[in-house]
Structure 1
Amino acid sequence: MSFWHPAALLATWGGSGLLPRAPGTWGSLFTLPVAWLIADRWGGEALFIVSVIVFFAGLWASAQYLKYSKSKDPSAIVIDETAGQLLTLALIPVDLWWYAGGFLLFRVADIFKPWPASWVEKSLDGALGVMADDIFAAVYAIAVLVGVHLLIAS
């Protein structure tokens, strides 16, 4: 598949998944300015909607990319990290420290994959298997961030 194919561009989040070392971290990192722009201009609700759209677009892009890959979950596919990172940031304030915390917590949850994220990754095949575990990682990160936000607000 050509790098310029729309599915390849989306699956690799503009090529960030092709960078050496920790492509998922690069994909998440390159998602931050996009998330900031959307949330700052249109709010967290818009960012949530975009995360859902990116998830479904990611299913399509991942399915296309997987046809040309020999791996079940190629590291170059980072649209799953993009969807999860967007979802994580949708429920927190647009603030440098909150976004840094959201980035770090999402990456930790995505890398260590606590149950049931680990089960989802191993049990689901194809594009859904690629995408779904990152949504669970986002839920874990959101739970911690919302808990911290509630503690600070009270």
Structure 2
Amino acid sequence: MASTNKKTPPQIMPSWAFLRSHPAHMLSFGFGSGLAQKAPGTWGTLVALPIFAALQIVLPNPIIFVFCVPLFALGVYAAELTGRALGVSDYGGIVIDEIVAMMMVLCFTPNTPLAWLLAFALFRLFDIIKPWPISWFDRRVKGGLGVMLDDLIAALFAIAGIIGLSCFI
């Protein structure tokens, strides 16, 4: 079950001007992808793909995974600050959680188009349907940590799926 908090209208309507007003807002909204009128989480997840591909040119996957730890902490801060500015704890346009989580999933994904497509689909599936315990954390943990945590758990589910299916992809 998705958080009903994402349906609460913001006190400030997000715009490019809002994103430019603070670096945390730009980061939280995935460099603008969270402004998408439809499926901002999906657009935010897509942003992770070129970022991850660029990082893979210079870094091995285990180092990228380690890099995701401070990026997660930065996401908690940015989502908290942006949520407060909007007056909505977990506004749907805040997509830094999808970006970091998808990057984590890709660290465990074979480097083929089919595997990346499967990783994307699995992550979005778990992020959208929020099976237990994702839904439990989504309902109970608020603020920046809550924004980031449910996607981290969805990433763990997707990683388990990728590892389980890796002999087929």
Structure 1 unmatched runs, 5+? none
Alignment of 1:118-137 (within 5 A): 118-137=135-154
RMSD over equivalenced CA pairs, Å: 1.5
Does residue 3 (structure 1) correspond to residue 19 (structure 2)? The answer is yes
Structure 2 unmatched runs, 5+? 1-16
* Alignment-mate amino acid for residue 143 of structure 2: G
1:58: Cα distance to partner?
0.3
Larger displacement relative to structure 2 (133-142 or 35-44): 35-44
Runs of 4+ residues over 2 Å off in structure 1: none
Distance, in Å, in 2 between the alignment partners of 1:47 and 1:142 is 15
Does residue 30 (structure 1) correspond to residue 47 (structure 2)? The answer is yes
What's the counterpart of residue 79 of structure 1? 96
Q: Deviations over 1:22-42 (max 9, x none)?
A: 000000011111112213431
Distance, in Å, in 2 between the alignment partners of 1:111 and 1:21 is 14
Distance, in Å, in 1 between the alignment partners of 2:111 and 2:56 is 7
Matched length: 152
Q: TM-score, normalised by structure 2?
A: 0.85
Alignment of 1:37-76 (within 5 A): 37-76=54-93
Distance, in Å, in 2 between the alignment partners of 1:3 and 1:132 is 23
* Alignment-mate amino acid for residue 62 of structure 1: A
Q: TM-score, normalised by structure 1?
A: 0.93
* Alignment-mate amino acid for residue 18 of structure 2: S
Is the CA contact (8 Å cut-off) linking 1:39 and 1:46 kept in structure 2? no
SS of residue matched to 2:98: helix
1:106: Cα distance to partner?
0.3
Is the CA contact (8 Å cut-off) linking 2:90 and 2:142 kept in structure 1? no
Distance, in Å, in 1 between the alignment partners of 2:84 and 2:145 is 14
What's the counterpart of residue 108 of structure 2? 91
1:49: Cα distance to partner?
1.8
Identity of aligned residues (%): 36
Larger displacement relative to structure 2 (29-38 or 135-144): 29-38
What's the counterpart of residue 12 of structure 2? none
